[in-house]
Amino acid sequence: MQQRLRRTQAPSTGGPGRLRALWRAAHEPVPGVSRRVRLLAYAVPLTVLPAGLWRLPAAFDSGIGPGERAYVVFLSLFSEAVAFTAIGLVARWGEVVPEWVPGLRGRRIPPAAVLVPAALGATALTLLWTVLALATEVMGTTIRGDALPADFPSRSGGWQAASYYVCYAPLVLWGPFLAVLTVAYGRRRLRAGDASGATP
């Protein structure tokens, strides 16, 4: 009777139950992560999502070719995937290689392997979106210093300009949020004695 019950319950663990387990494994913070830092990590993908959604309709514009259409879709998906890696700064998979990675599964990740790219990314994103984007918007020029074209979204006026600002404004926070998460990650790992990056 118990064996039959296990058989009937098994399929349910492979569907929604498995998805819930994967979601929990990807988002559940490790011990020592404060609630504020955890919420900050969860907010990073949300700072990128509006801009990606704003770009996607352009992929279905009749005036662009297949290559441009693929580029717009790829850019939106890739940006969101990169933003999601910020959650690794508070989750277990940012400290230990996940079980599904062959050859390296279960190995502890050296802090420097995470801190260096995270710090470089935070610096680049802050310069790009927090400094340059704001400066060029105020001056009315592109990053290269050229004048903005007349059909640039922020020059359109009305709801088009409003939607552009609403969707792209959160990107200003991407770099600073990532910088705070990087510092918190480094402090937590060093405090836990992981500086050597030794495998368990």
Residue 146 clears pLDDT 90, i.e. is over it:
no
pTM of the model: 0.82
Q: Where are the domains of the chain?
A: 35-92+110-191
Q: What is the pLDDT of residues 34-83, one digit of tens each?
A: 999 999 999 999 999 999 999 998 888 877 888 999 999 999 999 999 99
Residue ranges of alpha helices (H) inside 56-200 are 66-84, 111-125, 133-139, 153-156, 158-168, 174-191
